[in-house]
Amino acid sequence: KNQVEQSPQSLIILEGKNCTLQCNYTVSPFSNLRWYKQDTGRGPVSLTIMTFSENTKSNGRYTATLDADTKQSSLHITASQLSDSASYICVVSANQGGKLIFGQGTELSVKP
Amino acid sequence: EPEVTQTPSHQVTQMGQEVILRCVPISNHLYFYWYRQILGQKVEFLVSFYNNEISEKSEIFDDQFSVERPDGSNFTLKIRSTKLEDSAMYFCASSVAGSFYNEQFFGPGTRLTVL
């Protein structure tokens, strides 16, 4: 069964600190892996997209890594800001047709 | 910057009633999707739509659901006879045809409450 699992479920960090979120997936066939940021009551917003041949991709303070052999990904956030407080969702696309398989998200809270 | 819009933002309905959720995808996008998120749970794929027909649907998308692109701009999700368990946030998304990454842009969602 295609699944995406994330850890931790929730995380609290102080403003300015770094953090790393984890994602494991069992999706086949694999097309690409995305990280989305979802603010409460809003739609997900794409942060990064990686195919199996890409090991790392950055978007500002966000850096995603992908190990297609172990089927693991991480999202590293540097110098966190209060506005980073949101749910971060790992999403895998099984094919180019578009169906996305979502993880349950990591709820990040950045405190002053 | 172009964005996906959805109306209404919140819909309250009685069980058994029909509801239509509306979406305006980004204008040059040709692939359209509906997802739902029950409170506290994962976002789940419902259906994808291209060239005026369904290209893929999930087990959730049963005969009670239908999608339509009634004109050149709107994309709708109809639930014929709502159940309590249909209460969720419904997200519309769209993507550009032919994109390898198939990056999907999501709307802000419609919160459906079935009483």
In this predicted structure, the answer to whether residue B100 has a pLDDT above a threshold of 70 is no
Q: How many residues does chain B have?
A: 115
Quick check: B107 and A89 CB within 8 A? no
Q: Which residues of A touch B4 (CB under 8 A)?
A: 43
Query: A6 and A29 in contact (C-beta within 8 Å)?
Result: no
- The predicted model gives B66-80 an average pLDDT of 92
Instruction: Give A14-73 pLDDT, tens digit per residue.
Output: 999 999 999 999 988 888 899 999 998 889 999 999 988 899 999 999 999 999 999 999
Average pLDDT, chain B: 92
Strand pairing of A32-38 and A86-93? Answer: antiparallel
Residue B91 sits at the chain A interface (C-beta within 8 Å): yes
Per-residue pLDDT of B2-59, as tens digits, reads 899 999 999 999 999 999 999 999 998 989 999 999 998 999 999 999 888 998 899 9
**What φ, ψ does residue A5 adopt, rounded to 5°?**
-120, 140
Q: Which stretches of A27-85 are assigned E, i.e. beta strand?
A: 32-38, 45-51, 56-59, 62-67, 72-77
Please compute Rg for chain B using Cα positions: 13
Q: What is the DSSP letter of A79?
A: S
Q: How many CB atoms lie within 10 A of CB A102?
A: 22
Q: What is the mean pLDDT of residues A90-95?
A: 86
Two tokens at A33?
Answer: 């892996």
User: Nearest-CA neighbor of B94 among B7, B9, B28?
Assistant: B28
Question: Which residue of B lies nearest to A33 if distances are taken between CA atoms?
Answer: B101
Q: Tell me the chain B residues in contact with residue A34 when contact means C-beta distances shorter than 8 Å.
A: 103
- Do residue B102 and residue A46 have CB atoms under 8 angstroms apart? no
CB B114 within 8 A of CB B86: yes
A24: β partners: A5, A72
Strand partners, A45: A37
A101 contacts B102? CB cut-off 8 A? no
| pLDDT value, residue A98 | 66
In angstroms, the Cα distances linking B104 to A13, A36, B93 are: 30, 11, 6
Q: Return the residue of A nearest to B97 by Cα.
A: A97
Strands, sheet with A62-67, edge to edge from the N-terminal-most edge strand:
A3-7, A19-26, A72-77, A62-67, A56-59
Asked if pLDDT for residue A75 goes beyond 70, the answer is yes
Rounded distance between C-alpha atoms, residue A101 and residue B100, angstroms: 17
- The C-alpha of A19 sits at a distance from chain B's nearest C-alpha, in angstroms, of 22
Tell me the three state secondary structure of residue B36.
strand
Residue B3 contacts A, CB cutoff 8 Å = no
What are the tokens at A92?
């895998």
Note whether B101 contacts A49, CB cutoff 8 Å.
yes
